[in-house]
Each structure stands twice: as C-alpha cells, then as structure tokens.
Amino acid sequence: MTVTTQADSEDDLPTLAEVDSPLWFRHGDTMAVLGFMTMARRLPGLIRQALAMAWEASPRDTLVSVILSILGGVFTAFGLLATTGVLTALFEAGPTPERIRAALPSLLLVGLAAAARTALQAGAGWAQSRLDPQVERISEERLYGLTSLVDLVCFDDPEFHDALQRARLRGMSMASMVVTTTIDVLTGAVGIAAAAGVLGVLHPVLLLLLLLAVLPDAWAAVRSARMGYRTDLLLIPARRRKWIIEELLADKDTAAEVRSFTMRGFLLRMFDSVARGEQRVMLDLARRQTYARIMGEGLGGIGQAAVYVALGVLLAIGAVPLAVAGTAVLAIRSGQASLASFMYATNRLYEQGLYFTDFIDFVSEAESRIPSGRTREAPPGFRHLTVEDITFSYPASATQALRGVSIRIDRGEVVALVGENGSGKSTLAKILAGLYEPDGGRVLWDDVDLREVDPDTLRSRIAVIAQDHTRWPLTARHNITMGMDKGEDEVVRAAQVAGADQVIAELPNGYRTLLDRRFKDGHELSGGQWQRIAVARGFYRDAPLLICDEPTAALDARAEHALFERIRQHADGRTVLLITHRLASVRYADRIYVLDHGQVREQGTHEELMTVDGLYAELYNLQAQAYRTA
C-alpha cells in the first residue's frame, strides 16, 4: 500500500500562478491597461452615470446635495473677497481703534459667509448620507434582478461567472461610494473655482502658482490608485480559491468529512500556499505605492516653496499690495485644501470607477443575455411534446452534450430517460423544463415552438423534482409552496401524496417550522426527509408536465418503492418524465429512451429493449445481478 506523505502532498499544492487563468482577465484587464488621460476622459462619463443613479434613487436628495455644495463654494469666494476688505482696513495708516472699526463691516461679512458655508455644507452632508442607502438598494436590486433573469446557461459560462464575481465582490458595493465621491468631486471643484476666481481677481499669476503646488500630489495619487486596481485584478483568482478553502474549513456540510478524512492539515497547507502568494503581491504593492507617494510629496513640497518665493517677489516689486498678498495667502491655502480634497476625491472616483465600471459592464452584459422577443404565452397543456433533432453545448466546452436528439412524449404517458453518467439525461431534462435553450433543433408543444414562448409562462406549466434540490431556509410550508398560494388544502394534499406529511407531523411547529438550524427555533431534516419535501414541492405545482430527475436518490428502498407508486398514481392524466439510474423503477414506463454520449441509442418499452439485448439490457442485467443469490 502506498502512503502519501506530507512532502508528497506539498508538490500538489496550488501556487498563485496556478490559480491564475487567462479567462478571468479577458473582460476586466481592459480597464487595467488604460492610461491616465484615457481614464480622465472616462471620468465625466462615470460622473454622469453616478448622478443618473443618484437621481433614480432620490431626485430631491440629489438636487439638495449638489445645489448646497455649489452655494457653499459661492460663500467661500464671498468670504475670501470680504477678507480683502478686512486686511485693507487693518493695514491702513491711523490709530488701531479706528482701523478696527473700519474693518468691522467686512469682518461681519466674513463671519456671515463662514456661518452660511458651514450650514450649507452640513445640509449637503445630510443629503449625501440619505443618498447612500437608497443608491445601495437600487444597485442590489438591479444586479440580483438580472442574475435571476438571465438564461441558466450563463452560470455555466466561466467568463460570465467571473464577471459576476467582480460585480458582486467590489462593483456593486462601489455604486453608493461612487455617488458620494462624485458629489465630493463636485464640492472640491466648486471650492477650487471659488479660490481660483478670487486669485484671478487679485492677480492672474497666482492661478499658476496654485496649480504648481498640488499637481505632483495629484499625479502620485492617480498612479497609486492604478497600481491598487491592477493588483486587485491580479489577485481575484487567488482570493476566490482562498474563499473556497475557507468554506471547506468552516462550512457545516463539509465539517464531518474534514474530520473523517483528517483533511485539516492538507487544507491549511493549501490555504497557506495561496495566502503567501497573495501576501507577496500585497507587500510589493505597498512598496511601489510608497515610492510613488514619496516622489509626489517631495515634488509637492518644492512646488509650495516656489509659490511663496513667487509671492514674495510680487510683494517686493510692488505688483500686489500687502492686503492683497494676505488675502492671496488665504486663498491659496483654501485653494490647496479644496484642490487636495478634489484630487483625493478624484483619485477615489478614479479607483472606485474602475470597479464601478465592472458593475456597469456586467449589468450591460446581463441585459444582453435576457431572452427577448418571446412574448407568446405558453399553452395550458399539450397532446404531444416533440423534441426534433436538438443539439446543445455548454459554454467553453469543446464537445456537444446533446447531438441530434429526437424524442416524443404523449399526454398522460410516463416516459423514462436512462443512461450512464454524462450521457445527457439531465441536460435534456433542463431543455424540456425551459431552463436551457438548444443550439439547434426545436422543442414543440403540439405545434408551438418553445423558442417563441415566454420562459416564465412555460416554467409555470412544468413541475420539477430534482435530485440536487435546494434546501431553502424557509418554513416547511414555503418549502412546498415556493411562492405560490393555492390554499392550505392543496399544501396538505401535496404533502400527503409525497409522503411528506409524516415528516411535517414530527416537526415542532408543523408547517410553520423553519427548516434551518442556523436560525433560532430552526429544525434540520435528514436527506430523505428533504427529498420528500422536494417531491411535495413538485406535486403542489400540479403542472401538466412533471419532470423527476433522480427523485429517489436519498430514499431507502421502502420509501423509493412507495414514491414511485405515488408518481404512477399522480400521473393519472398527467405527463411524467422520469430520469433515474435505478432501472427497476422504469419497467412500467410507457416508453424508455436510452441516451449514450449525447445521442438516443435505443427506445421502446422495457420488454422491447430487453429483447433487443443492447445497452439498456446490459445495464439492467448488471443491476439485477447484484440482487441475485448464488
């Protein structure tokens, strides 16, 4: 017997490079290679998108925030100009009391401007704080409204799934931040305009000095933001792998096997391998960002020194009076503060905008994947369900899952799909359930092509009992009704038909029991009990087509036999499509289709297929042999 040592297993641990995948970067890397000027041209578009979202969330709060921010800038300029009057009066010749009295009117205007500016800024902040939760709600509803509407096959597309991860992990959370930061950018721009306007009135040269003092910092901030985004984009695959390992270590469903197979050490070594790779990348990012900030701050210090030297020269040559110089110093400081705030907000908007663009791009991509032009209502039922020569391939798969499949199901029949794993049974069932659309061929309900039918109305005519059913953290009643309300009698009837009434009778609060132990007073069911709830879910829908995909996988032999008896009884006048590996359960089907590598290999009744002595007979005899005694 070969024993795998720790050293052996270390060779199999994934590295950061191994986790990386070109497919992950195909969509997002476009943003990472944009230059500063290109992104600067994109900022107005981002601002428009952010303001449009803010307007959708609350027109009133958006207007209040923007208008009050603009008015705050106006009063900033007014206060600076009034300061010139104060300094002029104080620097005049004469007794100090007289100079102070002469300055009092201007001082009063400065005080009033400061008070008004403070009140306006507080009002703008209040409106911004109201906008945040409203924008967050809209972005969440938009994202999840689309993810629940796109075709199911999108979730089998790696590129779509990766774009969804980017939109969920950072893009959606950035929506409200982008709105807030956009308003901060506008506020900073108004402050800059106020200071620039005052400096322009005092002396045009002072405008150039203001730019000289802050541009180096702006360059460093934008460069640092771009470094951060590119690094985050690089680390998405590794962080996704870390998240998967974290779930394996901390999830209830895996806790037992982690202990049974002593997986703790292996998983922790795998986690450490990925985490160390991430750590190396983050430490390198910190080093490069620090260099950029040091360079920007150093150049900014030189620029500020040049500002005051130039101002001194202007005073020395008499280009500006002393009062104007004093006001210029205050205006430059105010402009520096506003420009620093503006550049900080612009830097944040630039960085957040990269992630926000992921959200916007995903929304656009998801909207393009919503089936359109299918407004015809699905027929209430059918006499014949016909599948004509359909083909289907999963995204990013080189082989076809279904190749030229044709079957026929008549109303009231029990039709079975059998075959080995990977033969295409579940894929065909999903197409018949309206969850996948075939690449070629067509599915007809009588003479109605399902490509023309509204998917929601079609799915309302179909009930599905799936092997991998969802264990919803809802009450037992809602786990059966699934959002429909046909009355309490129908709930009880469906539970009785499925044998779930016995399960519910043992629950502490009956149908009102919450089926999730993570919540207070929640209750947990066994796999077989959950299977009966899922069966009741399908029976409750009472649709003309019932699709049973391995419905007895979690049931014991007695429960399995009872369930198939119930399905046969329930099928009276209805149509049942049965998918199972347990061939003894399909002996009484009206017709059996045997799939092999995506094609219909055989079809007929049980007796006919046994006579042919083909694949079905081989599989049936293999299973039957296990029950024979010597």
The region that residue 594 occupies, defined by phi over 0 for left and psi between -120 and 50 for alpha, beta otherwise, is: beta
Structure tokens at 470: 């969802």
**Cβ proximity of 288 and 213 under 8 Å:** no
Same domain as 481, residue 344: no
**In the predicted model, is pLDDT for residue 108 greater than 70?**
yes
Shared domain check, 221 and 82: yes
Per-residue pLDDT band for 288 (boundaries 50, 70, 90) equals confident
Residue 88 lies in a domain: yes
Predicted pLDDT at 385? 92
Lowest mean pLDDT among 49-58, 135-144, 366-375: 366-375
pLDDT at 1: 38
The total number of structural domains in the chain stands at 2
DSSP character at residue 522? -
For 534, the token pair is 């899922």
Q: What is the pLDDT of residue 22?
A: 34
Residue 422 included in any domain? no
pLDDT at 218: 67
Q: Is 376 helix (H, G, I), strand (E, B) or coil?
A: strand
Final residue before a domain boundary, out of 502, 522, 542? 542
Q: What confidence score (pLDDT) does residue 3 get?
A: 38
What span, in angstroms and rounded, lies between the C-alpha atoms of 540 and 533?
Answer: 10
pLDDT, one tens digit per residue, over 236-259 is 778 778 888 888 888 877 888 888
* pLDDT tier for residue 594 given thresholds of 50, 70 and 90: very high
- Name the token pair of 241: 């792998």
Q: What is the pLDDT of residue 389?
A: 93
Domain final residue pick, 516, 542, 568: 542
User: Are 486 and 363 part of one and the same domain?
Assistant: no
Pairing of strands 384-392, 402-410: antiparallel
pLDDT at 157 > cutoff 70: yes
Q: Are 258 and 267 in contact (CB under 8 A)?
A: yes
Report yes or no: 379 and 556 within 8 Å, Cβ to Cβ.
no
Has residue 269 got a pLDDT over 70? yes
Mean pLDDT over residues 120-136, rounded?
87
The predicted-structure confidence for 50-96, as pLDDT tens digits, reads as follows: 888 888 888 999 889 888 888 887 787 777 767 766 666 655 655 65
Indicate if 72 and 217 belong to the same structural domain: yes
Strands 440-445 and 448-449: antiparallel
> What is the maximum alpha-carbon separation in the chain?
127
DSSP structure class, residue 550? S
| pTM score | 0.68
Look at phi and psi of residue 21 and say left if phi exceeds 0, alpha if psi is from -120 to 50, else beta.
Answer: beta
Instruction: Look at residues 78, 73, 81, 75 and name the one whose alpha carbon lies nearest to residue 327.
Output: 81
352 has pLDDT over 60: yes
Q: Rounded distance, CA 317 to CA 599, Å?
A: 94
pLDDT band of residue 403 (cuts 50, 70, 90) is very high
* Confidence at residue 31, expressed as pLDDT on a 0 to 100 scale: 43
Percent of the chain beyond pLDDT 70?
82
Q: What is the pLDDT of residues 451-474, one digit of tens each?
A: 888 888 888 888 888 877 888 888
What was the pLDDT predicted at 21? Answer: 39
Q: For residue 572, what pLDDT is reported?
A: 65
pLDDT at 408: 93
CATH of the domain at 27: 1.20.1560.10
Taking only the tens place, the pLDDT of each residue in 13-57 is 444 444 443 333 333 344 445 555 665 677 787 778 888 888 888
Give yes or no: residues 182 and 305 share one domain: yes
Q: Which amino acid is at 149?
A: L
Nearest to 570 by CA among 480, 465, 497: 497
Q: What does the block give as tokens for 337?
A: 């503060």
Give residue 86's pLDDT: 62
Show the tokens assigned to 36: 């500063």
Res. 417: pLDDT tops 60: yes
- Find the mean pLDDT for residues 424-431: 90
Tokens coding 450: 């399902």
Stated length of the chain: 630
Domain contains 396: no
Measure the CA–CA gap between 611 and 616, rounded to whole angstroms: 10
pLDDT at 628 over 70: no
Rounded CA gap, 181 and 173, in Å? 13
Give the model's pLDDT for residue 406. 93
198: tokens are 């005052």
Read off the amino acid at residue 260. S
Given a contact cutoff of 8 angstroms between Cβ atoms, the answer to whether 552 and 585 are in contact is yes
pLDDT band with cut points at 50, 70 and 90 for residue 10: very low
Q: What CATH number corresponds to the domain at position 531? A: 3.40.50.300
The amino acid present at 469, given as its one-letter code, is H
Which of 129, 127, 120, 90 is closest to 107 using CA atoms? 90
Per-residue pLDDT reduced to its tens digit, 377-386: 888 888 999 9
Q: Which of 235-239, 263-267, 436-440, 445-449 bottoms out in mean pLDDT, i.e. has the lowest?
A: 235-239
Quick check: is 441 in a domain? no
**593 has a pLDDT exceeding 90:** yes
**Minimum mean pLDDT among 135-144, 165-174, 548-557, 581-590: which range?**
548-557
CB atoms within 10 A of CB 264: 11
Confidence (pLDDT) at 94? 55
Assess whether pLDDT exceeds 70 at residue 313.
yes
Domain boundary among 491, 525, 542: 542
Q: Does residue 584 lie in a domain region?
A: no
β-strand partners of 440? 391
What tokens were used for 31? 């943003």
- Residue 415 buriedness (CB in 10 A; 0-12 / 13-18 / 19+): buried
What pLDDT does 405 receive? 92
First to last CA, the chain: 32
Tell me what pLDDT residue 36 has. 53
Is residue 231, in this structure, part of any structural domain at all? Answer: yes
CA 389/CA 404 separation, integer angstroms: 4
Residue 568's SS3 state is: helix
Evaluate if residue 574 carries a pLDDT over 80: no
Establish if 444 belongs to a structural domain: no
Question: pLDDT tens for residues 181-208?
Answer: 888 888 888 877 777 777 777 777 777 7
Predicted local distance difference test score (pLDDT) of residue 107:
72
Q: What is the mean pLDDT of residues 104-112?
A: 78
CA distances from 187 to 125, 346, 356, 421, 493 (A): 11, 11, 21, 62, 63
Spell out the residues 6+ positions from residue 319 whose beta carbon is closer than 8 angstroms to its own: 203, 205
17 is written with which tokens? Answer: 């490079």
pLDDT for position 99: 63
Question: Given this model, what pLDDT does residue 87 score?
Answer: 62
Q: Return the higher-pLDDT residue of 73 and 410.
A: 410
pLDDT range class, residue 407, cuts 50, 70, 90: very high
Are residues 334 and 478 both part of a single domain? Answer: no
Query: Residue 100 contacts by C-beta under 8 Å, 6 or more apart in sequence?
Result: 89, 90
**3-class secondary structure per residue, 159-227:** HHHHHHHHHHHHHCCHHHHHHHHHHHHHHHHHHHHHHHHHHHHHCCHHHHHHHHHHHHHHHHHHHHHHH
Q: Does residue 86 belong to any structural domain of this protein?
A: yes
Higher-confidence position of 503 and 560 = 503
When the pLDDT of each residue in the chain is averaged and rounded to a whole number, the result is: 79
- For every residue of 437-480, DSSP letters joined together read --SEEEEEETTEEGGGB-HHHHHTTEEEEETT----SSBHHHHH
- Write out the residue range of the structural domain in which residue 149 sits: 19-368
pLDDT of the residue at 19: 42
